[in-house]
Amino acid sequence: MKACETLGIQLERVCGEKATCGKCKVRVEEGFHQEIYSSQKHLSPMVEEEREFFSQHSDLTGYRLACLARVMGDVVIFVPEDSRLTKHIAWKGLTERFVSLLPVVRKYYVEVPPFGREGVGREGARADFESLVSEITTRFALSDLRADHYVLRALPSLLRETEGKVTVTVWMNKEIVKIEPGYWDVNLGVAIDVGTTSIAAYLCDLVNGQTLAAEVMSNPQIRFGEDVISRISYAILAPNGLEELQIIVIDGLNTLLSQVTKQAGFQPKDISDVCIVGNTCMHHFLLGLTPYGLSRAPYRAVVQRALDIKARELGLDLSPSVYAYFLPTVASFVGADAVGVMLAMEPNLEAETVLTIDLGTNGELILSGEGRLLCTSCACGPAFEGGQVSSGMRATAGAIEKVRIDPDTLEVKFQVVGSPSWSDGQRKTNAKGICGSGIIDVVAEMLRAGIIHADGRFDSSISSPRLRQTAQGTSVFVIAWAHETALDRDITISNSDVRAIQLAKAAVYAGASVLLRKVGKTLPDKVLLAGSFGTSLDVDSCRTIGLFPGCDEVYAVGNAAGNGARLCLLNREKRLEAESMVQKVEHLELAKEKEFSRIFLEALSLGQYKPLASTKGSMKDL
């Protein structure tokens, strides 16, 4: 694995190098290659985990798992397409929200008089900082200003180079965090959503409130595991594990900041304010806080309250005195991202009962109505994001995101991320695997067509070339034939893949049901699907498998967590609102709820809700 990284080749490692996913498989090319003799013998011997994996995949002769194989001599390695870590392109778009502009940072242009003009008192000429503050106080009625010591260090030379003409950035009307030469009317802020799978950044103009640019990237911590549990284990058990996790995510953020500012024609140093949301684990990793308390009951975070941290303390490539604001967390695994969602959705507790679902490796559920605001989290596992699925992948180029199966012929057509057209069964596509929305489609379509039963078992009486038995005696259904894919091998769904979806959807359904029962309801009036994954879901497929309690009105609300961060960036009163909301929300630990286990077991059954005939059941944009 390290040899590949040294050469700039990033490999998939969904399981966090635990040798269970097989996504990092590579093939050793035997023989001479440009005077290099390559052989399997030049790698460390297979260990038991590797032998077990390849015993179930007899078609992978000559392959090794990069996470376990060690280079002992000269080898030439072929990295197949599906083993390469590709750019994450699932879009974390924002929906429009109107908010009055009241940013925490403002800019003031001043001209400090040349030395000697303001006179000399009994103690001599006035100091540089006092001269600056005097001008700001006189012109803008700001008093009791202080300055970060990095600002003070740069102040003397800057005043002399500009003849006292500078633009001062003031934070919260009390601290000078940046001084720029001359007149500078650009005031930029960035809202960041640090997700388990991807990170999104939104560059905003703090003068007019516009979003100038947006960028998204894969969370580079994926190399340590697809899910938060794998990363918690690494942080606690590996030497310098927590430090590695923090460094790699900070490096990723710096790359993202460079990209998003370049897109708008600026530089990271032009940013004056930052707002950050993320689940509790991502929050802790970014701050370098130990996740030990989250690794076992009662799942305690290090800190809950909102934080203002200097950019330099985090290692962000911004002006060193600029603050990064971290929204507060709720409790255990309900983090600042859930607070961002609540802030963006502006729940009316006295109106209809609204269930908001933010799906991912960790699913956050928020319920408002009947005068109450409740939230919880459920461990979905990585199935919704392509993990734990034999042909699964994230929503990158080549991922199958939509699937339809003819119930009579069992023929399949699919659509790949970024492609406007459906497959026709004849032409080659760039399909390399199947992402979360496609997997839900597949399970729903197989259920409708009778290929699988409600308990997830395949119907063995069906005769179709697409339904076959593997050498290990398990059933698989072919979604894409080898000649249709970029891999030249079939893309299939197995019994264990269906089971992974059953477990994930049962957790969501049971969690939502527990919340609803707390307010005396069995069904919500409205369901809001947050996040990029929610935007790409087919609602009828969700209903068909019973992903959430049935509801006629389902809306996609985009990246609500990122939107919450943006609102805090544009209006500082939203930060107070977020901090107040954390005190009001009722947090439920599902493990302590007696009904959860029973509902979870019942919800493992597929097909609890049939698709509605009316158009009201279609996904809508809110």
Per-chain mean pLDDT for the chain: 86
Q: Are the C-beta atoms of 16 and 226 separated by less than 8 Å?
A: yes
Distance between CA 501 and CA 381 in Å, rounded?
9
Q: Is 491 in the same domain as 586?
A: no
Nearest to 172 by CA among 562, 561, 575: 575
Query: Confidence class of residue 349 from pLDDT cuts 50, 70 and 90?
Result: confident
Distance between CA 364 and CA 345 in Å, rounded?
14
pLDDT of residue 20: 62
Residues whose CB is less than 8 angstroms from the CB of residue 184 and which lie 6 or more positions away in sequence, other chains included: 107, 109, 167
pLDDT of residue 64: 86
Query: Average pLDDT of 481-498?
Result: 90
**Domain assignment of residue 585, yes or no:** yes
Q: Which residue has the higher pLDDT, 80 or 356?
A: 356
Q: What is the CATH number of the domain that holds 587?
A: 3.30.420
> Residue 622: is its pLDDT beyond 60?
no
pLDDT of residue 120: 46
Q: Is 407 in the same domain as 472?
A: yes
> Residue 87: is its pLDDT beyond 50?
no
Q: How many CB atoms lie within 10 A of CB 409?
A: 10
> Residue 232: is its pLDDT beyond 70?
yes
Instruction: Convert the pLDDT of each residue in 160-215 to its tens digit.
Output: 999 999 999 999 999 999 999 999 989 999 999 998 888 999 999 999 999 999 99
> Residue 314: is its pLDDT beyond 90?
yes
> Residue 619: is its pLDDT beyond 50?
no
Instruction: Convert the pLDDT of each residue in 251-283 to its tens digit.
Output: 999 999 999 999 999 999 999 999 999 999 999
pLDDT of residue 539: 86
Query: Confidence class of residue 82 from pLDDT cuts 50, 70 and 90?
Result: low
pLDDT of residue 572: 94
pLDDT of residue 81: 61
Q: What is the CATH number of the domain that holds 111?
A: 3.10.20.880
End-to-end CA distance of the chain: 44
Kind and range of the H or E run holding 317: none
Q: Are the C-beta atoms of 35 and 22 separated by less than 8 Å?
A: no
Percent above pLDDT 70 for the chain: 88
Query: Confidence class of residue 586 from pLDDT cuts 50, 70 and 90?
Result: very high
Query: Confidence class of residue 97 from pLDDT cuts 50, 70 and 90?
Result: low
**Domain assignment of residue 389, yes or no:** yes
**Domain assignment of residue 509, yes or no:** yes
Q: Is 67 in the same domain as 158?
A: no
Instruction: Convert the pLDDT of each residue in 31-66 to its tens digit.
Output: 776 667 888 888 888 888 788 777 777 667 788 888
Among 500, 519, 539, identify where a domain stops.
500
Task: Supply 166's token pair.
Answer: 């500078």
Name the amino acid, one letter, at 38: S
Q: Are the C-beta atoms of 109 and 187 separated by less than 8 Å?
A: no
Q: Is 19 in the same domain as 79?
A: yes
Query: Confidence class of residue 1 from pLDDT cuts 50, 70 and 90?
Result: low
Instruction: Convert the pLDDT of each residue in 415-428 to its tens digit.
Output: 998 788 898 888 88
Query: Average pLDDT of 509-522?
Result: 93
pLDDT of residue 472: 74
Distance between CA 84 and CA 54 in Å, rounded?
19
**Domain assignment of residue 325, yes or no:** no
Angle at alpha carbon of residue 233, lines to 229 and 237, rounded to 5°: 175
Q: What is the dihedral of CA 606, 612, 613, 619, to 10 degrees?
A: -110
Instruction: Convert the pLDDT of each residue in 378-416 to its tens digit.
Output: 877 767 777 678 888 877 788 999 999 999 999 999 999
Strand 63-65 and strand 25-29: the pairing is: antiparallel
- This prediction has a pTM of 0.80
Task: Supply 424's token pair.
Answer: 């026709």
Among 500, 521, 547, identify where a domain stops.
500
Name residue, tokens 């800190």. 303
Domain that holds residue 516: 348-380+505-607
pLDDT of residue 611: 40
pLDDT of residue 123: 45
Q: Are the C-beta atoms of 28 and 38 separated by less than 8 Å?
A: yes
Query: Average pLDDT of 473-497?
Result: 89
Distance between CA 609 and CA 248 in Å, rounded?
43
Q: Is 63 in the same domain as 148?
A: no
Query: Average pLDDT of 151-158?
Result: 93
Instruction: Convert the pLDDT of each residue in 517-568 to its tens digit.
Output: 999 999 999 999 887 777 778 888 998 999 988 888 888 888 889 999 999 9
pLDDT of residue 18: 61
Q: Is 490 in the same domain as 417?
A: yes
**Exposure of 370 in the CB half-sphere (CA atoms within 13 A):** 15
Q: What is the CATH number of the domain that holds 18?
A: 3.10.20.30
pLDDT of residue 614: 35
Q: Is 393 in the same domain as 494?
A: yes
Q: Is 514 in the same domain as 445?
A: no
Strand 198-205 and strand 188-194: the pairing is: antiparallel
Task: Supply 326's token pair.
Answer: 């971290």
Q: Is 396 in the same domain as 478?
A: yes
Among 466, 500, 534, identify where a domain stops.
500
pLDDT of residue 616: 36
Q: Is 387 in the same domain as 494?
A: yes
Number of domains in the chain: 4
**Domain assignment of residue 45, yes or no:** yes
Q: Is 376 in the same domain as 392?
A: no
pLDDT of residue 331: 87
Instruction: Convert the pLDDT of each residue in 112-144 to its tens digit.
Output: 987 544 544 444 467 899 999 999 998 998 889
Q: Is 554 in the same domain as 453?
A: no
> Residue 24: is its pLDDT beyond 70?
yes
